[in-house]
Chains A and B, each alone.
Chain A
Amino acid sequence: DAGVIQSPRHEVTEMGQEVTLRCKPISGHNSLFWYRQTMMRGLELLIYFNNNVPIDDSGMPEDRFSAKMPNASFSTLKIQPSEPRDSAVYFCASSPRGQISYEQYFGPGTRLTVT
């Protein structure tokens, strides 16, 4: 299996621009997670989906962030408008266990820099 696929791997954009991050989970996994990692705040869960349905978005920083999962093989995380404080590594992860997802498989991440 190819593992979790994320694109782009690196993104540099200017403040105010829209950013879209993409994720393809491992086939057959029914849970998908978006995380953000920074030195200051560590690894934070932003939102997660079970069977394409958003379950908990309490970690989404503000209305500038939105996430969708239109089908079992694709998810997006959008930031509009982007700000310098959004600079971080964004990870997507998927899990084969729909209930207690203690084992998650992470993608390589997208390193976002907002100038």
Chain B
Amino acid sequence: GQSLEQPSEVTAVEGAIVQINCTYQTSGFYGLSWYQQHDGGAPTFLSYNALDGLEETGRFSSFLSRSDSYGYLLLQELQMKDSASYFCASPYNQGGKLIFGQGTELSVKP
């Protein structure tokens, strides 16, 4: 089977840095994606890590360690608009099925 675990909630203050962790158990591994979903909206793609290391996209970075079956999303210079749910997801196989974690609700406080 395949499962991804992430914390249900994280709270941080505006301007701070926050890290959202994701651990996974997979029978095969084809990388780790991150999605953002605002309340009432649709998930939107943020990043993808196929290999170990850090991928940076503006204020957001994503990290993967395949040996530890672990990844994280790092959000810097937090803004109020970053308050949303963040999902890690992993392709189940090469065919396209994407398995999502349960999501982490990030609340950014002033």
Using a CB–CB cutoff of 8 Å, the interface residues on chain A facing chain B are 31, 33, 42-43, 45, 48, 50, 55-56, 91, 93, 95, 97-109
Cβ-defined contact, A42 with B42, below 8 A: no
B99 to chain A minimum Cβ distance, whole angstroms, is 8
Q: Give Cα distance in the complex from A107 to B41, angstroms.
A: 9
Cβ-defined contact, B33 with A103, below 8 A: yes
A31 to chain B minimum Cβ distance, whole angstroms, is 5
Q: Give Cα distance in the complex from A111 to B95, angstroms.
A: 28
Cβ-defined contact, B96 with A50, below 8 A: yes
Which residues of B have CB within 8 Å of A103? 33, 45, 48
Cβ-defined contact, A104 with B95, below 8 A: no
Which chain B residue lies CB-closest to A103? B45
Which chain A residue lies CB-closest to B45? A103
Which residues of B have CB within 8 Å of A48? 96-97
B22-37 interface (Cβ within 8 A of A): 30-31, 33
Cβ-defined contact, B42 with A50, below 8 A: no
A42 and B95 contact, Cβ closer than 8 Å, known pairs A103-B33, A103-B48, A105-B45: no
Which residues of A have CB within 8 Å of B43? 43, 91, 93, 104, 106
Cβ-defined contact, B42 with A106, below 8 A: yes
Which of B87, B91, B94 sits near A43, CB closer than 8 Å? B87
Which residues of B have CB within 8 Å of A33? 96, 98
Which residues of A have CB within 8 Å of B89? 102
Cβ-defined contact, A43 with B103, below 8 A: yes
Q: Is B69's beta carbon under 8 Å from chain A?
A: no
Cβ-defined contact, B96 with A98, below 8 A: yes
Which residues of B have CB within 8 Å of A108? 41-42
Which residues of A have CB within 8 Å of B33? 102-103
Cβ-defined contact, A42 with B91, below 8 A: no
Cβ-defined contact, A101 with B42, below 8 A: no
Q: Give Cα distance in the complex from A105 to B18, angstroms.
A: 25
A42 and B44 contact, Cβ closer than 8 Å, known pairs A100-B30, A102-B33: no
